[in-house]
Amino acid sequence: MRKHLILITYFASLFLSGCAYKIDIQQGNVITQSQVDQLRPGMSANKVRYLLGTPLLKDPLHPNRWDYVYSFQKGKGPRFIQHLTLFFDDQERLVALKGDFRPRPKPGLAEPEITTVTIPPRKIEKGIFELLGDFWRGLFS
């Protein structure tokens, strides 16, 4: 009887170890279109920080450039990345932006003076651990 209990426990643990749950991974600053629509040329850096939060990347070599990056990966699904870069002048006033967002003008107003650049989608390559995992899964499947 004891041997049967050990075998059942062994096979149950093997079965349950294959049911691995992967959590959703969310990193960076969540930026919405409504937040980007509130940006205006000449806006102070403090107002931008209040509106969007502290930038994820602030390069010491380019202090007038702020980068907001948001990454989301649902379980075993593909990774989704949004990027927004803001540029300021020497008086810390917003002069331009580029990235995955484009400000929408309000009805009846002129187009915003903020410069926007369309960036082609990025192809995200697999890391070394993902490649090794694919290799080992291929061996045992």
Q: Which pLDDT tens digit goes with each residue over 42-75? A: 899 999 999 988 888 887 888 889 999 888 888 7
Output the pTM of the full model. 0.59
Separation of alpha carbons 88 and 55, rounded Å: 13
Contact between 54 and 69 under an 8 Å Cβ cutoff? The reply is no
Strands 79-88, 94-99: pairing kind: antiparallel
Helix, strand, or coil here: 26? Answer: strand
pLDDT in tens, 69-115: 888 888 788 888 888 899 999 999 999 888 888 777 666 555 556 66
CA 14 to chain centre: 35
